Chains A and B, each alone.
Chain A
């Protein structure tokens, strides 16, 4: 949780581990998208250019697998941290300040849409907004499904000991369409929402520095601000 009351009106929002994991997943995901689509659209001029840089189809395929291992290792590191956080640090994994999905997030999403259409008030966001939770769960779950279908494509002979061969086709289809959705959302929407929209333009450095100003929390996360204020009152009294 945010340790508040720090100097210069800053609050620590992401720990060093999470900043590092974000950078790893960012680089890994981008590379996976580039190499994967270059393999699939091998006839396109840009794909051939990228393939040439990485040493042909074999280079593309091995870079893809290498990045997949790094990205999935980041996911595993995060899961290990969750266990440590729960068991050793006695932290909470559910509740208002966590990534755990709540019914309120669905209401927030439609409330937010209503706000965009000038029909409703802006929902009062807590530590993680609905789109941040969606980004998080999309990666956490998506990396596992991509990992499973990817492993089927990496070791088809081994999997065909139990599965009929057309499961390799199914794995490829699922891998492809999930990649299309993931890239369309993460390569386009995530940068726009997190950095490029007018409220945060030109960039939000929080995920890289880990710090967020108290002023921004008051403005953009009123529910978190309220909770922080009540915790402060309890600590003060």
Chain B
């Protein structure tokens, strides 16, 4: 092939690379903050395949439908106002309507830590996220009914992990996460198996934690519950002195063990390498 033929091709390649880079930059520029992607527009196909797919819009959005009626006291927001579309619909929704069908889940939610944080307005230390409401964890329009345990569990690692990343990371390197999330063993514990799904619990007191352990480990006592599932200092206050000590101990020990492992393996690998070189040298000398 003539060399002149290749230059237009190269130009075409460069151009497409440039276009791709531009497209990526445009996509990054246009990206909406996480959680707000589908706030205002609905994928009807996915909606109808989901658990809520048989519901009419007005069943959940009655307030908005009433606003469209003539003479309504709460007028529909100004559609020309571009600012309005930037308010996160997920947190704007009146979730008390969910209890019409999901009474138990709704009641449990209000007993837990998320509801408490919602009332106080506290945010997570790690990501500064406000406390979640129904729609922050459930994709209300799209989630399917009866997801299997592993699928649901893996979703929890992702969803809980968006506000509690240190806990998700440590869970994944713990045996529960390795067997459950990574290897897909349905009998392993996922986030909600210990912390509860709607009544979200903190397991900082040993007695409460032991109650969670007991669900799978018969005979688990508060002493057993001193096992550290999340060896991280994130979200640990000064009052959690015992767990802080365990985390420091585990981190120090793993650093010391890593140094020992590198030294031992390094010494013997080095020795074997020199040994091999010497024997090869002997063999070559004989020939």
- The answer to whether B261 touches A113, judged by C-beta atoms less than 8 angstroms apart, is no
Using Cβ atoms and an 8 Å threshold, which residues of chain A touch B278? Answer: 115-118
Q: Which of A58, A170, A189 contacts B187 (CB 8 A)?
A: A58
Find A113's partner among B175, B274, B279 (CB 8 Å cutoff): B274
The reply to whether A198 and B179 contact each other, CB–CB distance below 8 Å, is no
Scoring B183, B272, B282 by chain A CB atoms within 10 A of each residue's CB, the highest score goes to B183
CB-CB contacts of A139-161 with B at 8 A, as 1s and 0s?
00000000000000100111011
Identify B182's interface contact among A42, A58, A188, CB under 8 A.
A42
7 intermolecular pairs with C-beta atoms under 8 Å apart: A116-B275, A156-B227, A166-B227, A169-B246, A184-B265, A198-B279, A198-B283
Give the number of chain A interface residues (Cβ < 8 Å): 46
- Which A positions have Cβ atoms within 8 angstroms of B? 39-40, 42-43, 47-48, 51, 56-58, 60-61, 112-113, 115-118, 153, 156-158, 160-161, 163-166, 168-170, 172-174, 177, 180-181, 184-185, 188-189, 192-193, 197-199
Q: Are A113 and B257 in touch, CB under 8 angstroms?
A: no
Q: Measured between C-beta atoms, what is the minimum distance from B149 to chain A in Å?
A: 13
Which residues of B approach A to under 8 Å, CB–CB?
172, 175, 178-180, 182-185, 187-188, 217-221, 223-228, 231, 246, 249-250, 253-254, 257-258, 260-261, 264-265, 268-269, 271-272, 274-280, 282-283
In the complex, which of the residues B178, B218, B261 contacts A157, with contact meaning CB atoms closer than 8 Å? B218
Taken together as a complex, chains A and B put the C-alpha atoms of A226 and B40 apart, in Å, by 90
Known pairs A113-B274, A116-B275, A118-B278; A169 contacts B185 (CB<8 A): no
Q: In the complex, which residues of chain A have a beta carbon less than 8 angstroms from the beta carbon of B283? A: 198
Cα A193 to Cα B187 with chains together (Å):
43
Pick from A116, A157, A165, A180: contact of B277, CB under 8 Å: A116
